[in-house]
Amino acid sequence: MQYSEKYLHLGEKVDVDENVICEYRVTTALSMEDAAAAIATEQSTGTWTELSTLSEDVFDRLSGKVIGIEGDRTTIAFPSDDFSLEVGGVPQILSVIAGNLFGLDALEGVRLEDVFFPASMIEEFPGPRFGIEGMRKILDRPKRPLVGTIVKPKIGLSPRETADYIYEAGMGGLTNSKDDETLVDQAFCPMDERVPAIAEAIDRVREETGHRMMHAVNISTRGDKVAEVAERVQELGATEIMIDVLTCGFAAIQVLAEDHSIKVPIHVHRTMHGAITRDPRHGVSMKTFAKLVRMCGGDALHIGTFGVGKMKGDPKEDLGNQSACVGDMGALKRVMPVCSGGLHPGMVDSLVKIGGTDLQIQAGGGVAGHPLGVRKGAMALSQAVEAAFQGITPSEYASDHRELAMALERWGLE
């Protein structure tokens, strides 16, 4: 198959205010020129053959332009006019920058590594309402990493047991907790009972100690119910809501961020992302997803653990995810990067060394698996965060913090 050279504009400068610029990594037996042209044509004005219906004018205005090739990487610019933001939004953006191209038979692999949007496009999105600064303000925690837990086991606890877990976590010093991604409204833990019980537990922690905390209630559901469920749990006392971005879709976040009756932060989980982001030669980078989450209005987003925890990841990729959350992106607020997945107190020092202090560090097993239970587990994790914040080694801090010492003994230092 011959892909048209008309799509090649190598070395040309394009206006970054008028184009969405995408970087792809391509694995192919074709020449990179042909492979890149195949992507540009499929994703804009073309298809596999010349068209009698494609006018020069449409071609000039709307075709994707291959503006760079370097090794197995290519940069392609898609004119802003290719996009339909009001009706279309992120689903339509994805169909252009990350659509059919993945199925092209001529490419063995293609990965969307990064994307850059014009400022005028970014402005069309709400962005986070709270972000790092807003969440820190609610929690009265200006500088230290947020420190949280995921209620474990993932499923099975009753509303009372869930609330007790969160009370203990709060008494142990955690600022955040959340439902696990597979818990929504099952019969063993219905929202109508769980959410008020959690709210009461959080209030009790505040009354007894002055300590503030928020818990993200998982509202992941079908599209037509997202806003309704969010509003319902908010009425029941939810202090934060959680949504799974890849199973619910990016637009679900935007629906929540633009719903002014929702007045709590949105924690964005990324379950299933590994199916798309994990292969270095095929799929979409998490960094790309992070930019879209930020545009749609997520306040906190899972970015991985810099290769430290149980989930696949590495410092370079995860630092890229973090920079998508906090780097310059027009007027959009910064998203709180969440590190989660197989973490325990012995990993916190490494996390903070790599990722700094603008992080939400959370552990499920690494809290509930503490030999002395949830409260001591929460204390151990909080102590690890405090040590890292103060630049004290975990072992030194553990010498007069028994909970941390026990956690390090159980799980070691990494």
Nearer to ligand CAP by Cβ, of 181 and 358: the residue is 181
Q: Decide whether 150 or 387 has the Cβ nearer to ligand CAP.
A: 150
Q: Per CB under 6 A, which of residues 241..270 are in contact with ligand CAP?
A: 270
Question: Is 137 among the residues that bind ligand CAP (CB under 6 A)?
Answer: no
Find the shortest distance in angstroms from Cβ 208 to ligand CAP: 26
The reply to whether 152 belongs to the active site is: yes
Indicate whether 318 belongs to the interface with ligand CAP (CB under 6 A).
no
Q: Provide the strand spans (E) within 274-388.
A: 283-284, 300-302, 336-339, 360-362
Measured in whole angstroms, the distance separating CA 152 from the mean position of its chain's CA atoms is 21
Using CB positions, name the residue nearest to ligand CAP. Answer: 364
Considering the rule CB under 6 A, would residue 180 count as an interface residue with ligand CAP?
A: yes
User: Judged by CB, which is closer to ligand CAP: 27, or 271?
Assistant: 271
User: Out of Mg ion, ligand CAP, none, which partner does residue 64 contact, by CB within 5 to 8 A per kind?
Assistant: none
Q: Report the nearest approach of Mg ion to the CB of residue 310 (Å).
A: 11
User: How many residues belong to the site for ligand CAP (CB under 6 A)?
Assistant: 18
Of 87-95, 130-138, 174-182, 246-254: span binding Mg ion (CB under 5 A): 174-182
Strands lying side by side in the sheet with 73-79: 65-70, 73-79, 19-28, 107-116, 283-284
Stretch that binds ligand CAP, among 106-114, 249-257, 304-312, 345-353 (CB under 6 A): 304-312
How many other C-beta atoms are found inside a 10 Å radius of the C-beta of residue 83? 19
Q: Which residues contact 18 (CB under 8 A, 6 or more apart)?
A: 79, 80, 118
Nearer to Mg ion, 181 or 240 (CB): 181
Which parts of 43-106 fold into alpha helices (H)?
56-62, 89-97
| C-alpha to C-alpha distance for 386 and 163, rounded to whole angstroms | 25
Site for Mg ion in 64-93 (CB under 5 A): none
Q: Three-state DSSP class for 349?
A: helix
Residue from 42, 113, 181, 349 in contact with ligand CAP (CB under 6 A): 181
Interface with ligand CAP by CB under 6 A: which range of 87-95, 136-144, 188-196, 361-369? 361-369
Q: What is the CA radius of gyration of the chain?
A: 23
Kindly state the smallest distance separating residue 268's Cβ from Mg ion, in Å: 13
Burial class of residue 414 in the structure, from the number of CB atoms within 10 Å of its CB (0-12 exposed, 13-18 middle, 19+ buried): middle
Q: Of residues 178, 211, 215, 269, which has the active-site annotation?
A: 269
CB of 412 to ligand CAP, least distance (A): 16
Q: Whole-number minimum distance, CB 380 to ligand CAP, in Å? A: 13
Tokens linked to 59: 């071609």
Contact 25, 8 (CB under 8 A): no
Among 23, 82, 179, 180, binds Mg ion (CB under 5 A): 180
* Site size for Mg ion (CB under 5 A): 2
Distance CA 144, CA 136 (A): 9
Stretch that binds ligand CAP, among 44-52, 202-210, 215-223, 360-368 (CB under 6 A): 360-368
CB-based contact 254:90 (threshold 8 Å): yes
CA distance 117 to 364: 36
340 binds, among ligand CAP, Mg ion, none (CB under 5 to 8 A by kind): ligand CAP
| Of residues 74-113, those binding ligand CAP (CB under 6 A) | none
Q: Which is nearer to Mg ion, 214 or 216 (CB)?
A: 216
User: Coil, strand or helix: which one is 196?
Assistant: helix
Closer CB to ligand CAP, residue 78 or residue 289?
289
- The percent of the chain in helix, strand and coil, each rounded to the nearest 5, is 45, 15, 40
314: DSSP letter: -
By DSSP bridging, strand 336-339 and strand 300-302 are: parallel
Site for ligand CAP in 339-358 (CB under 6 A): 340-343
Which of the following is catalytic: 152, 211, 267, 333?
152
Q: At what angle do helices 159-171 and 191-209 cross, to 10 degrees?
A: 20
Contact at 8 Å (CB) between 384 and 359? no
Q: Which does 342 bind (CB under 5 to 8 A by kind): Mg ion, ligand CAP, none?
A: ligand CAP
User: Footprint of Mg ion on this chain (CB under 5 A)?
Assistant: 180-181
Which positions lie near ligand CAP, rule CB under 6 A? Answer: 150, 152, 154, 180-181, 270, 302, 304, 310-311, 340-343, 363-366
Q: What amino acid positions are annotated as catalytic residues?
A: 152, 269
